[in-house]
């Protein structure tokens, strides 16, 4: 059994790493996830039934590890990202309390949106690509773009309604 596992590692380690790196674009994370894949291979090798190629099976484990990583990474919308969004797209009031007002308005708007919309918005503010968002949410890349565009448009309208002016050349 040890020989089989060593052979699998030697043969597929680089392929699994390359696949995971293509998803995350982070050397350290790809290495960590690759290690997790091979730990799972060791745990699950007895359950492998041979219904697919072993490489296909290992890549499905890798994909699952990637999705697990994305789920673990879920967190609140970072306040700095909200401020950056406002700073880059809205002008008008220069009050020091403005950022708190914007943050409150964003949270009020998002509380009425679906979980998918909140997730897409949060992930985009966290810097995820549309591809990564689509992969994690189980939707197409174009759907991720549309969801983000729509919530951004709603946010703009909501902030205008709340009396926070925006710069029409942005958003």
Please return the burial class of 51, using the count of CB atoms within 10 Å of its CB with bins 0-12, 13-18 and 19+: exposed
- Do 52 and 84 sit in the same domain of this protein? no
Give me the pLDDT at residue 89, please: 46
Number of compact structural domains in the chain: 2
With beta carbons less than 8 A apart as the criterion, state whether 90 and 152 touch. no
Give the model's confidence band at 165: pLDDT under 50 very low, under 70 low, under 90 confident, else very high. low
Q: Which of 37, 72, 107 is the last residue of a domain?
A: 72
Q: Which domain holds residue 14?
A: 2-72
Q: Which of 72, 99, 115 is the last residue of a domain?
A: 72
The pLDDT tens digits of the residues spanning 54-77 come to 898 999 899 989 888 887 776 544
Give me the pLDDT at residue 82, please: 57
Q: What is the rounded CA–CA span in Å between residue 94 and residue 107?
A: 21
């Amino acid at each position: 059994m040890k020989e089989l596992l060593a052979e699998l590692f030697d043969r597929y380690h680089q392929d699994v790493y390359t696949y995971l790196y293509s998803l995350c674009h982070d050397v350290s994370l790809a290495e960590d996830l690759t290690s997790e894949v091979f730990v799972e291979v060791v745990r699950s090798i007895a359950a492998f039934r041979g219904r697919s190629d072993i490489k296909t099976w290992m890549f499905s484990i890798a994909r699952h590890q990637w999705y697990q990583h994305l789920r673990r990474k879920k967190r609140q919308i970072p306040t700095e990202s909200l401020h950056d969004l406002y700073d880059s797209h809205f002008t008008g009031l220069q009050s020091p309390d403005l950022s708190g007002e914007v943050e409150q308005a964003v949270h009020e708007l998002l509380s009425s949106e679906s979980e998918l919309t909140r997730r897409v918005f949060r992930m985009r503010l966290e810097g995820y690509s549309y591809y990564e968002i689509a992969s994690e949410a189980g939707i197409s890349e174009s759907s991720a773009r549309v969801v983000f565009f729509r919530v951004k448009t709603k946010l703009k309208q909501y902030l205008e309604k709340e009396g926070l002016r925006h710069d029409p050349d942005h958003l």
